[in-house]
């Protein structure tokens, strides 16, 4: 038994050294992964919350029946056109939200691989080609950051369009709440 232990000890030390050589890279990957995850999920929540706020604001600007009865046909048409402009602008949120959600689903799947690397580091044994996995996951972080920058630019454009459409609707709504002077 003692001979077996003496034989296995160098193998165990060699295996642990193999894991230790990746410690810094795995810890760096883990930190970057967590930071990128937070940035993406924060952005996703921001877009969702903003969309909800716009939708609620649009509903709040809808004239009640009494006000609508006092509006001229021209005012009704103008209000409906403004409302459609806002609704169309809000429609641009759906593709952005889907793109982000699809990426988050893939990201979540890959998170399991990051967890496996961290768990392997803790256990002292990592299976597979660690260098290849680190390269793949670091590339995904770079892709996520590039996507996030593009999504933020797209979001700014969408938000600007919705803000302009809402301003037009608000301006039209304030004009429709005052009955026309005859």
- How many residues make up the chain in this entry? 182
78 near 170, Cβ under 8 Å? Answer: no
Q: What is the DSSP letter of 22?
A: T
93 near 158, Cβ under 8 Å? Answer: yes
Instruction: Kindly report, residue by residue over 153-176, the tens digit of the pLDDT.
Output: 999 999 999 999 999 888 876 554
Q: What is the pLDDT of residue 12?
A: 41
b (16+ CB within 10 A) / e for 29-59: bbebbeebbeebeebbeebeeebeebeeebe
Does this model's pTM top 0.85? My answer is no
Q: What is the DSSP secondary-structure string of 49-61?
A: HHHHHHHHHHHHT
- Distance between CA 95 and CA 88 in Å, rounded? 13
Would you give per-residue pLDDT tens digits along the chain (182 residues)? 555 444 444 444 344 456 789 899 999 999 999 999 999 999 999 999 999 999 999 998 888 889 888 989 998 898 899 999 999 999 999 999 999 999 999 999 999 999 999 999 998 888 889 999 999 999 999 999 999 999 999 999 999 999 999 998 888 765 544 443 33
- Distance between CA 7 and CA 10 in Å, rounded? 7
CA-based nearest residue to 113, from 29, 42, 46: 29
Q: What is the pLDDT of residue 171?
A: 84
| CATH code of domain 2-177 | 1.20.58
Q: What is the pLDDT of residue 63?
A: 86
- Distance between CA 137 and CA 30 in Å, rounded? 10
Q: What is the pLDDT of residue 113?
A: 95
Structure token digits, residue 96? 């952005």
Every domain of the chain and the residues it spans? 2-177
């Amino acid at each position: 038994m003692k001979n077996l232990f003496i034989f296995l000890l160098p193998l165990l030390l060699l295996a642990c050294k193999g894991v230790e050589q990746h410690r810094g890279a795995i810890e760096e990957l883990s930190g970057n992964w967590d930071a990128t995850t937070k940035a993406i999920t924060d952005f996703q929540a921001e877009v969702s919350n903003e969309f909800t706020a716009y939708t609620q604001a649009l509903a709040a600007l809808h004239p009640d029946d009494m006000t609508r009865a006092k509006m001229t046909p021209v005012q009704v048409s103008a209000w409906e056109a403004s409302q459609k402009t806002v609704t169309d602008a809000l429609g641009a949120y759906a593709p952005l939200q889907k793109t982000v959600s699809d990426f988050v689903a893939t990201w979540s799947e890959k998170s399991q691989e990051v967890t496996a690397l961290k768990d392997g580091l803790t256990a002292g044994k990592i299976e597979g080609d660690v260098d290849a996995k680190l390269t793949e996951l670091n590339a995904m972080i770079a892709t996520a950051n590039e996507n996030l920058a593009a999504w933020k630019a797209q979001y700014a454009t969408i938000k600007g369009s919705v803000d302009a459409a809402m301003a037009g609707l608000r301006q039209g709504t304030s004009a429709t709440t005052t009955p026309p002077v005859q």
